[in-house]
A and B are shown apart, each in its own frame.
Chain A
């Protein structure tokens, strides 16, 4: 589905690249990307979805390589994306926002209408479908954001820090929601919240200063941690071990 080979991303005007020589292949399930702030997760995700052209290497989507080019329109319609801070027109109702996103993804206006109802129902937002985006709470807006990401039935769903700003109850609800939708599609999830990753992902990538320093299963990462290392859970200890932060101060 997605294959990155020696992928590099270097923003103009910055001293060092944001992503360096990253290679991975992803087919199905839920893959989480972990890393500190500024590790290059968002840059990598933006490159995966086609918003950012890689400065080095290639990225193949759905079996087609597209080196140094943005994703084709056809590929874009097969990807759903929820950015970390997604924009919206405040006067759009939740229904209009999702419907419009569906249209942007190539659905006919009539089909977008039908799929919007299904998506909003799936994320539990039907009751607020007529509420303006600007009047929704942060958590509700996130759910609408997910609805817009899945409205066109993408094969790949990419979520960048989807639980940022959510309270504990909203995060639990979000996990339940993601479990409900992951069965039908592959999901790439970027987060710095270990609990979310543990609850949802089967595979983890860890980025450190733009480099891929770990690529394995949840179990593999847990095994990396030492019993005396830092962290409250095996996964946290494994993560700390990988990023070199497990030394007791």
Chain B
């Protein structure tokens, strides 16, 4: 232990590893949902951080692995009465100690960032372990190459191998099952996804086994003694790999799964006006906003044929044309910064496919009228980046917002056909 700490005090990884992983976390947190947060999302962000860090950690590992040649320590190491396995175990162990602390830093940053809004769901330990194991693999990969190749170019080779493994994953022609064996396998996660425990356990086993196997292989090359133990360790790693591979195959490589509807954790809320919303518990932090905005829309539509008083989150939305359906879809996108407004935008797919499908805008204010109406219903006070030809469009929007609740409801009811047919005249909009 004393030697491990001695190596740790002098390891290349001492400062660089926490710094690197903390910096990489900045990229990882980009994966976090801006307005809601879940442990699944945190896991995904941490895995992204570790994948992003992979080539850098591999490079640092290789640099550390070339220490003997770089610093002319051949005589010291070569004349040691300890086995190379023991010597390198201390050096690699020190590196892994710092990488573990660096990974802990990344965990801390990511979880703190996510905790700005309430974190929903339950942490799945084996899934949260993956970023750490990926980092361990990256370092072991680089270190093993450094020990075997001995010279500086080991750094370039380590980076190349790490990037190649990543590219292997993102190459479309590689089946999901094959890429799931890669420690740099990136993930497709949806809002309601939960980690697949069996798949993550398989992945953990494969990653640990790969790391152990690489280290054994390197030791086989540099150590003439202790080969019996190395053979045993290699066989053990292969056994673990087969076991982990079996688990991955049994899950067809899918790391996340969307639970059956009955297993989804849904929450329900009812507004004073009687609107009932049912959404995944992921959206608990934005539920008050969702309820307020959808109640507003519900009231606007209440005197028209578009009226509704209950919406359930559509967990598997169909983005094709499905006009004139009620109750409307409640399609929530966790990646959106304006979850309520974008969910209202998505509702229009169930009302009209103006300009994008079979229905073409008509009337002297057709397309702009449609944009104006949608902007108003979504609660946006301006057109944002949407370019309006009519320089008075903003005045029209302000006019809609200036309507009293009763007048607004009446206006929607009066224009229901225009809404559905995407047929607008300039004169349809207040102020008249």
**When A74-B81, A77-B81, A89-B71 are in contact, do A104 and B76 touch as well, CB less than 8 Å?**
yes
**B74 interface residue (CB < 8 Å to A):** yes
**A153 interface residue (CB < 8 Å to B):** no
**B360 interface residue (CB < 8 Å to A):** no
B81-A105 in contact (CB<8A): yes
A103-B82 in contact (CB<8A): yes
Instruction: Name the interface residues of B2-54: CB closer than 8 Å to any CB of A.
Output: 2-3, 6, 9-10
**A73 interface residue (CB < 8 Å to B):** yes
**A15 interface residue (CB < 8 Å to B):** no
- Nearest A residue to B5, CB-CB: A109
**A239 interface residue (CB < 8 Å to B):** no
B75-A88 in contact (CB<8A): no
Chain A residues whose CB sits within 8 angstroms of the CB of B9 once the complex forms: 91, 96
B6-A104 in contact (CB<8A): no
Chain B residues whose CB sits within 8 angstroms of the CB of A5 once the complex forms: none
B80-A76 in contact (CB<8A): yes
The listed residue (B1, B6, B82, B83) touching A96 by CB distance below 8 A is B6
**A139 interface residue (CB < 8 Å to B):** no
A99-B10 in contact (CB<8A): no
**A87 interface residue (CB < 8 Å to B):** yes
Interface 0/1 of A87-98, CB less than 8 Å to B: 111111000100
A87-B76 in contact (CB<8A): yes
The listed residue (B6, B71, B81) touching A88 by CB distance below 8 A is B71
**When A83-B75, A109-B2 are in contact, do A89 and B10 touch as well, CB less than 8 Å?**
yes
B10-A106 in contact (CB<8A): no
A101–B81 alpha-carbon span in the complex (Å): 10
Chain B residues whose CB sits within 8 angstroms of the CB of A85 once the complex forms: 72
B79-A79 in contact (CB<8A): yes
Interface residues on B, range: 20 to 34
**B78 interface residue (CB < 8 Å to A):** yes
B71-A87 in contact (CB<8A): yes
Chain A residues whose CB sits within 8 angstroms of the CB of B79 once the complex forms: 49-51, 71, 76, 79, 81, 104
A72–B77 alpha-carbon span in the complex (Å): 14
A-B contacts, CB under 8 A, total: 70
B72-A106 in contact (CB<8A): no
Please, how many residues of chain A have a CB less than 8 angstroms from a CB on the other chain? 31
**B250 interface residue (CB < 8 Å to A):** no
Chain B residues whose CB sits within 8 angstroms of the CB of A104 once the complex forms: 76-77, 79-82, 87
**B67 interface residue (CB < 8 Å to A):** yes
A100–B3 alpha-carbon span in the complex (Å): 7
Chain B residues whose CB sits within 8 angstroms of the CB of A81 once the complex forms: 75, 79
Interface 0/1 of B205-235, CB less than 8 Å to A: 0000000000000000000010000000000
Chain B residues whose CB sits within 8 angstroms of the CB of A101 once the complex forms: 76
A79–B6 alpha-carbon span in the complex (Å): 24
**A128 interface residue (CB < 8 Å to B):** no
Chain B residues whose CB sits within 8 angstroms of the CB of A51 once the complex forms: 74-75, 78-79
**B322 interface residue (CB < 8 Å to A):** no
B75-A89 in contact (CB<8A): no
**B73 interface residue (CB < 8 Å to A):** yes
B82-A106 in contact (CB<8A): yes
Chain A residues whose CB sits within 8 angstroms of the CB of B3 once the complex forms: 100, 103, 109
Chain B residues whose CB sits within 8 angstroms of the CB of A86 once the complex forms: 72, 75-76
Chain B residues whose CB sits within 8 angstroms of the CB of A96 once the complex forms: 6, 9-10
**A233 interface residue (CB < 8 Å to B):** no
B67-A89 in contact (CB<8A): yes
**A55 interface residue (CB < 8 Å to B):** no
**A170 interface residue (CB < 8 Å to B):** no
B80-A92 in contact (CB<8A): no
A83–B71 alpha-carbon span in the complex (Å): 13
- Nearest A residue to B6, CB-CB: A96
Chain B residues whose CB sits within 8 angstroms of the CB of A99 once the complex forms: 6
**A117 interface residue (CB < 8 Å to B):** no
The listed residue (B2, B6, B78, B81) touching A106 by CB distance below 8 A is B81
Instruction: Name the interface residues of B51-104: CB closer than 8 Å to any CB of A.
Output: 67, 71-83, 87
Chain A residues whose CB sits within 8 angstroms of the CB of B72 once the complex forms: 85-87
**A113 interface residue (CB < 8 Å to B):** yes
Chain B residues whose CB sits within 8 angstroms of the CB of A76 once the complex forms: 79-81
Instruction: Name the interface residues of B352-410: CB closer than 8 Å to any CB of A.
Output: none
**When A74-B81, A109-B3 are in contact, do A87 and B73 touch as well, CB less than 8 Å?**
yes
Chain B residues whose CB sits within 8 angstroms of the CB of A88 once the complex forms: 71, 73
The listed residue (A73, A87, A110, A113) touching B75 by CB distance below 8 A is A87
For residue A113, give the distance in angstroms from its CB to the closest CB of chain B: 7
A51–B74 alpha-carbon span in the complex (Å): 9
For residue B87, give the distance in angstroms from its CB to the closest CB of chain A: 7
A45–B125 alpha-carbon span in the complex (Å): 56
A49–B78 alpha-carbon span in the complex (Å): 10
For residue B399, give the distance in angstroms from its CB to the closest CB of chain A: 72
- Nearest B residue to A105, CB-CB: B81
A81–B75 alpha-carbon span in the complex (Å): 8
B78-A91 in contact (CB<8A): no
A110–B1 alpha-carbon span in the complex (Å): 10
A233–B3 alpha-carbon span in the complex (Å): 49
Chain A residues whose CB sits within 8 angstroms of the CB of B225 once the complex forms: 73
A89–B73 alpha-carbon span in the complex (Å): 8
A–B Cβ pairs within 8 angstroms, 14 of them: A51-B75, A73-B225, A81-B79, A87-B71, A89-B67, A90-B71, A91-B10, A96-B10, A100-B3, A100-B6, A101-B76, A104-B80, A104-B82, A104-B87
Report which A residues bind B (CB closer than 8 A). Answer: 49-51, 71, 73-74, 76-77, 79, 81, 83, 85-92, 96, 99-101, 103-106, 109-110, 113, 148
Apart from A87-B73, A106-B82, list 19 A-B contacts with CB within 8 A: A49-B75, A49-B79, A50-B78, A51-B79, A73-B82, A74-B81, A79-B79, A81-B79, A87-B76, A88-B73, A89-B10, A89-B67, A92-B10, A96-B6, A104-B80, A104-B81, A104-B82, A109-B1, A110-B2
